[in-house]
Amino acid sequence: MKLHPALAPFLFSAAVAVATAATPAPKKKAADPTPELPPASATAVYEPVPVVVSAPPSAAPSDAVVLFDGKNLDAWITTKPDGGPAPWKLEGDAMVCVPKSGNIRTRQAFGDIQLHLEFRTPAVVSGEGQGRGNSGVFFMGIYELQILDSYNNPTYVNGQAGSIYKQYAPLVNASRPPGEWQSYDVVWVAPRFGPDGKVTRPARMTVFHNGVLVQHDAVLKGNTPNRGYPAYKAHADRLPLSLQDHNNTIAFRNIWVRELKLPAE
């Protein structure tokens, strides 16, 4: 292609402009405003690499121990000395407490855990106060996180839903109406005992009720009796989790735990 001679100057200046843009003048390095600090690389840590856990929506994480997924009660037995099968019943995808059949516990024992559990108090309200929709999660079979229908149901506050029974009231009341599914997400740190049987580090509990923080790193004073005062009595590092039969037809579903390996303190 032949160019018209009149275009030549324009082409020449365009070429100069491109060349100028492609070779910017070298930048002056800005002075370090904090020369007393080490380079950023000095505080970057690359090992150990955290284990990969897949966490699909609405399902247990890949490293969870599933304790109830709607299929059967195989992970549970009675707390009665005979150790027989869990006397509660399967209804749809839920596990339902049979009043007066007794508490149930996991076959497996646990120490420090993250727990997810969903519960539903009866849609038809009967009773009041502690008699209405009562159950509980006993960590290590000893320390109770209260389950109660606390929707417009006054009772002593350290015994309402989300309380660490007779020790700590929940920070707020996040209860849903009777008959609706609710959730607890808990971080449980087991107590530690010395060789003399005395507690060296009390148990601690953090609880989200329906996604709302209701206990923040609460330091337990001991067990959770109805009468008397909390106290520690040395026990094994790992013990089964139990659920309370308090004579109400509470339903449960989607129960899983993750065993935690927390950093040493």
Sites of contact with Mg ion (CB under 5 A): 134, 136, 146, 244, 246
Q: Cis ω on the peptide bond leading into residue 48 (within 30° of 0)?
A: yes
Please give the Cα distance from 93 to 74 (Å, whole number).
14
Q: How far is the CB of 73 from Mg ion (least distance, A)?
A: 20
State the number of CA atoms in the 13 A half-sphere of 18 facing the CB. 6
Judged by phi (left if over 0) then psi (alpha if -120 to 50, else beta), residue 120 lies in beta
In the complex with Mg ion, the residue whose CB is nearer, 108 or 130, is: 130
Q: Closer to Mg ion by CB, 111 or 136: give it.
A: 136
| Min dist. Cβ of residue 135 to Mg ion (A) | 6
> Residue 154 and residue 150: Cα distance in Å, rounded?
7
Least CB distance to Mg ion at residue 146 (A): 5
Smallest distance from Mg ion to CB 244, Å: 5
The two structure tokens encoding residue 151: 């929707």
Q: Please, which residue, 64 or 86, has the CB nearer to Mg ion?
A: 86
Residue pair 215/164 in contact (Cβ under 8 Å)? The answer is: yes
Residue 60 vs 148, nearer CB to Mg ion:
148
